Chains A and B, each alone.
Chain A
Amino acid sequence: MAGFSLLLRRELRIAMRRRGDVLNVLVFFVIVASLFPLGVGPEPSQLRAMAPGVVWIGALLAAVLSLPRLFAADYADGTLEQLLVSAQPLPVLVLAKIAAHWLLSGLPLAIVAPLLGLQYDLPGDALFALMASLLLGTPVLSMLGAAGAALVLGARAAGALTALLLLPLYVPVLIFGAGAVNALLIGINPSAHFSVLGALLAVSSLIGPWAACAALRVALD
Chain B
Amino acid sequence: MLETMALACERGGRRLFSDLGFALGAGELLRVRGPNGAGKTSLLRILAGLTRPAMGNVTWRGKQRDWDFGREMLFLGHAPALKDELTVSENFAFNCQLSFLKEDANALEQIGVGKLAGLPARFLSQGQRKRVALARLALASSMPLWLLDEPFSALDEAAITAVRGLIEGHLREGGLVVLTSHQEFPLAARAERAITL
Contacts of A6 in B (CB 8 A): 94, 97-98
Interface readout for A189-221 with B: 1 if CB under 8 Å, 0 if not?
000000000000000000000000000000011
Cross-chain contact A77 with B79 (CB below 8 angstroms): yes
Q: Which of A23-31, A78-86, A101-109, A167-175 participates in binding chain B?
A: A78-86
Contacts of B80 in A (CB 8 A): 77-78
Instruction: Choose one: A3, A73, A78, A220; the contact of B98 (CB below 8 Å).
Output: A3
Contacts of B60 in A (CB 8 A): none
Question: How many angstroms between the C-alpha atoms of A76 and B48 in the bound complex?
Answer: 19
Question: How many angstroms between the C-alpha atoms of A78 and B79 in the bound complex?
Answer: 5
A38 on the interface (CB 8 Å rule)?
Answer: no
Instruction: Choose one: A73, A77, A85; the contact of B73 (CB below 8 Å).
Output: A85
Q: Which of B17-25, B82-90, B164-172, B174-182 participates in binding chain A?
A: B82-90
Question: How many angstroms between the C-alpha atoms of A146 and B167 in the bound complex?
Answer: 38
Cross-chain contact B68 with A87 (CB below 8 angstroms): yes
Cross-chain contact A18 with B85 (CB below 8 angstroms): yes
B127 to chain A, nearest CB (A): 16
B49 on the interface (CB 8 Å rule)?
Answer: yes
Q: Interface size of A by Cβ–Cβ distance < 8 Å?
A: 24
A210 to chain B, nearest CB (A): 16
Overall SS of chain A's interface: helix
Interface readout for B73-114 with A: 1 if CB under 8 Å, 0 if not?
101011111110110001000110111100000000000000
Cross-chain contact A86 with B70 (CB below 8 angstroms): yes
B71 on the interface (CB 8 Å rule)?
Answer: yes
Cross-chain contact B71 with A81 (CB below 8 angstroms): no
Cross-chain contact A82 with B98 (CB below 8 angstroms): yes
A1 on the interface (CB 8 Å rule)?
Answer: no
Contacts of A13 in B (CB 8 A): 85-86, 90
Instruction: Choose one: B77, B94, B97; the contact of A81 (CB below 8 Å).
Output: B77
A86 to chain B, nearest CB (A): 5
Contacts of B50 in A (CB 8 A): 81, 84-85, 220-221
A35 on the interface (CB 8 Å rule)?
Answer: no
**Beyond the given A77-B79, A82-B75, A87-B69, could you list 18 further A-B residue pairs with CB under 8 A, ordered by the A residue number?**
A10-B83, A10-B86, A13-B90, A14-B83, A77-B82, A78-B81, A79-B81, A81-B81, A82-B98, A83-B98, A85-B70, A85-B73, A85-B75, A86-B70, A86-B99, A87-B70, A88-B98, A220-B51
Interface residues, chain B, with chain A CB atoms under 8 Å away = 48-52, 67-71, 73, 75, 77-83, 85-86, 90, 94-95, 97-100
Closest 6 CB pairs of A and B: A78-B79, A87-B70, A78-B81, A17-B85, A87-B71, A85-B75
Interface residues, chain A, with chain B CB atoms under 8 Å away = 2-3, 6, 10, 13-14, 17-18, 73, 76-79, 81-89, 220-221
20 A-B residue pairs with Cβ-Cβ distance under 8 Å, sorted by A, are: A2-B97, A6-B94, A10-B86, A10-B94, A13-B85, A13-B86, A14-B83, A73-B83, A78-B78, A78-B79, A79-B83, A81-B81, A84-B49, A84-B50, A85-B70, A85-B73, A85-B75, A87-B67, A87-B69, A88-B70
